[in-house]
Amino acid sequence: MSSHQITFAYWVPNVSGGLVVSKVKQRTDWSYEYNVRLAQAAEKSGFEYALTQIRFTAGYGADNQHESVSFSHGILAKTEKLKVIAAILPGPWKPALAAKQLATIDHLTNGRIAINVVSGWFRGEFDAIGETWPEHDERYARSEEFIRSLKGVWTQDNFTFDGKYYQFKDYTLRPKPVQKPHIEIFQGGSSRAARDMASRVSDWYFTNGNTPTEIKKQIDDIREKAKANHHHVKIGVNAFIIARDTEEEAKAVLQDIIDHADKDAVNAFHGATREAGAASNEGEGNWAKSTFEDLVQYNDGFRTNLIGTPQQIAERILELKNVGVDLILSGFLHFIEEVEYFGEKVLPLVRQLEEEQKQILQDKSA
């Protein structure tokens, strides 16, 4: 049982269609104006992080998507406390430019930028923009070099690195980022290669939604390896949250989202994930076991089952925390109003349960 408070993040809807592959009516909007209002509501409601997504072309339904780093900076400019995690894709991004660009944003925002290094799952996107498509584990080998390069450039003078993908020679970046030791580095992906990379170099491991039992297996695996590497990794889990005054209402919203699924888009996405996952030898990658219904939320967010009343959701969040989860990455149907509802109704219950648990621990050790 852990005594620190669990952290909350939300997905920035910088893509049209929100966080579900469904034609259900949504009051979420991908515009800058909506996202600024959302970010301001989220920081007031107790969210510490927001995560922007990167897609050069969408594999499922969405017509429009804003670029992640510039969009993150736009949100940071209009907020005060929120940290925004920008997704970065090695391949299109090179570490020298990423390191320089992010160090500047870190200065402009007083140390509130972070990054999510994603290794790519959609081959069509890479083909469309003329990027090569290394095999699954090679993509992670490249991402690991990418992260080692960023860390080196951000923390050392006269940085030299002779990798398979990236090289630096006696390079000194000025100014270094504001954050010390460096800008926080998240990563996305659940396969063997993703977990091994996390256990070596990432500050945070983001994984798709799942049950506490399945999440625990991943966490135990990563933490054991990380320990052997003298490295500590924090864990973030995706969840599509549907909090309503009654369980029936919440379940009805889920059913409505699934009933309106964009079937062609979900099936196309399924095909693309098979291609991405097939390349991970052990078959444990994200989406390896996803059903059609799971894929209506593109990071398996229904599986985490934060769907019900505030009390039910708060209790399930505590269960996740107790298997070692540090952060809940949340998606919502109608973002602004649901982020506010979450801050008002769910978060205080989570804090209360955490407090009660802490008390029990203290009493036991007294």
Ligand X SMILES: Cc1cc2nc3c(=O)[nH]c(=O)nc-3n(C[C@H](O)[C@H](O)[C@H](O)COP(=O)(O)O)c2cc1C
Q: Considering beta carbons, is residue 173 or 272 the nearer one to ligand X? A: 272
Alpha-carbon torsion 308, 312, 314, 316, what sign? negative
Our finding on whether 238 is near ligand X (CB under 6 A) is yes
Minimum separation from the CB atom of position 125 to ligand X (A)? 7
**Tokens describing residue 139:** 């993509």
Q: Is 19 in the site for ligand X (CB under 6 A)?
A: no
User: In this complex, which beta carbon is closest to ligand X, that of residue 52 or of residue 109?
Assistant: 52
Nearer to ligand X, 22 or 202 (CB): 202
Q: Is 190 in the site for ligand X (CB under 6 A)?
A: yes
- Considering the complex, state which of residue 222 and residue 349 has its C-beta at the smaller distance from ligand X: 222
Nearer to ligand X, 177 or 285 (CB): 285
304 binds ligand X (CB under 6 A): no
Tokens 């695996």, located at residue: 221
- Binding residue for ligand X (CB under 6 A) from 62, 69, 87, 318? 87
| Selected binder of ligand X within 17, 189, 308, 343 (CB under 6 A) | 189
Token digits for 76?
């940071």
* Binding test (CB under 6 A) with ligand X, winner from 109, 207, 218, 290: 207
Pick from 46, 188, 310, 343: which binds ligand X (CB under 6 A)? 188
Question: What is the 8-class DSSP label of residue 61?
Answer: S
Q: Is 194 in the site for ligand X (CB under 6 A)?
A: yes
Query: Least separation, in Å, of the C-beta of 299 and ligand X?
Result: 5
> Which residues have a Cβ under 8 Å from the Cβ of 306 and sit 6 or more positions away?
239, 240, 241, 242, 243, 313, 316, 317, 328, 330
Q: Is the peptide bond before 92 cis (omega within 30 degrees of 0)?
A: no
Applying CB under 6 A, the span of 47-55, 175-183, 218-226, 256-264 interacting with ligand X comes to: 47-55
285 is a site residue for ligand X (CB under 6 A): yes
Residue of 60, 92, 68, 70 whose CA lies nearest to 14? 68
Binding residue for ligand X, selected from 210, 297, 299, 304, defined by CB under 6 A: 299
- Identify which of residues 65 and 305 has a Cβ nearer to ligand X in the complex: 65
Question: Is residue 366 within 8 Å of residue 275, measured between CB atoms?
Answer: no
The backbone torsions φ and ψ at residue 55, rounded to the nearest 5 degrees and listed phi first, read -145, 130
H-only helix segments in 115-262: 123-128, 136-155, 192-200, 212-228, 247-259
Which is nearer to ligand X, 66 or 244 (by Cβ)? 66
Q: Which residues of 102-116 are buried (b: 16+ CB within 10 A; e: fewer)?
A: bbebbeebeebbbbb
Task: Mark residues 241-280: x for contact with ligand X by CB under 6 A, - for none.
Answer: -----------------------------------xx--x
Nearest distance from C-beta of residue 160 to ligand X, angstroms: 28
Binding flag, residue 118, ligand X (CB under 6 A): yes
3-state secondary structure of 98: helix
Residue 132: what residue type?
T
Q: How far is CA 24 from CA 254, 258, 334, in A?
A: 10, 8, 11
Q: Does 329 help bind ligand X (rule: CB under 6 A)?
A: yes
Whether 297 and 240 have beta carbons less than 8 Å apart is answered as: yes
Contact footprint for ligand X (CB under 6 A): 53-55, 87, 89, 116, 118-121, 188-191, 193-194, 206-208, 238, 276-277, 280, 285-286, 299, 329
